[in-house]
Amino acid sequence: MRLSELAESIGIDYRGEERRIRGLGTLKGATCEELSFLDNPKYLKDLENTEAAAVLVSPRFANFVPKGTIPLVDEEPYLKLAMASAFFAPPPMKTEGAEPVIGQGSEVAPGVNFGKDVKVGKGVTIMPGCYIGDDTVIGDDTLIYPNVTLYSRTVIGKRCIIHAGTVIGSDGYGFAHTKDGKHVKLHQLGNVVIENDVEIGANCAIDRGTLDSTIIKEGVKLDNLVHVAHNCEIGEHSLITGQVGLSGSTKLGRNVVMGGQSGTAGHLEIGPFCTIAARGGVTKSIEGGKVYAGFPLMEHKRWLRLNAMLSRFLEKKK
């Protein structure tokens, strides 16, 4: 779309230089033909270095937009991004494209449904009831159990195991809110990338990225009933146990261990070689190489001392 046309469509008055906008991108990754946005001051440095054609930005941050990038100034940049995303959302299902390419030695059970332009590697096993969406790529020697759903543009590495009922690539939970309390969908334009030797348990949900990819790195093992939200990144060889929930844009370093029903807030980083005990609640970025527990989160030894003190206090009250 022409930038002036796009701006008019989302209710922004723009009469400056004309540019062609071919998509949306993050501040870090956007090209000179993409629109980006800033709504969180945490990413001001990314704004100052962006190469985006234009950026949706509130008035207080407009002066940080670099030369060569056009500021589209609005009091509600996130809402305007959500409105713009509708113009660039791909159709949910292709009507044209090539039939799937299935590698040598692969076994596809009856009842598997494929989208268009799917590529399946060698020695792959796909069991009944699976749906493999458009433009999905599955690496060699991967095993997919029954009733797994892979949304479009999902990338699965080699030697992965995906257990029954898991959904990979569903929309992230992204909505902008109007002043009168309505919710405008931010169309999720990214995908999910799963690297080699990953195992994903039954009935997990892994959301596609908003603009980029949700990434699960090499050797990660997910238990059953794990939710990974949009734009998360799980570091190599991490272990995520049952009923863990990761909020959007959480980044885990390598070899992180998360106990059952633990979870994170969004936009934070968990250092490498961390352990989060069961039901631990991570609300801010934490240093690697330590064991944490509780809510609010604290180092495990301190949490044990705190509970011992509370126990003694209650005994005295009796």
Interval 174-192: pLDDT, tens = 999 999 999 999 999 999 9
Stretches where the chain sits below pLDDT 50 are none
pLDDT value for 318: 67
Residue 261: both structure tokens together = 């029903």
Paired residues of 240 in beta bridges = 222, 258
In the chain, what are the domain boundaries? 3-88, 101-301
Whole-number Å distance between alpha carbons of 28 and 25 = 8
Tokens 């959302």, located at residue:
89
Instruction: Provide the pairing of β-strand 213-216 with 191-194.
Output: parallel
pLDDT value for 314: 84
For domain 3-88, the CATH superfamily is MurE/MurF, N-terminal domain (3.40.1390.10)
The arrangement of strands across the sheet holding 143-144 comes to 107-108, 125-126, 143-144, 161-162, 199-200, 221-222, 239-240, 257-258, 275-276, 291-293, 298-299
pTM of the model: 0.94
101-301: CATH number:
2.160.10.10
pLDDT value for 15: 85
Whole-number Å distance between alpha carbons of 174 and 78 = 10
Catalytic residue among 187, 227, 230, 237: 230
Residue 16: both structure tokens together = 């400056």
Residue 158: both structure tokens together = 């080699």
Whole-number Å distance between alpha carbons of 299 and 307 = 13
In degrees, rounded to 5, the angle at the alpha carbon of residue 110 between the alpha carbons of residues 150 and 94 is: 40
Whole-number Å distance between alpha carbons of 198 and 233 = 13
230 among known catalytic residues? yes
- Distances from the Cα of 56 to the Cαs of 18, 26, 27, 148, 191, in angstroms? 16, 11, 10, 37, 23
Distance in angstroms between the alpha carbons of the first and the last residue of the chain: 72
Number of alpha carbons in the 13 Å side-chain half-sphere of residue 311:
6
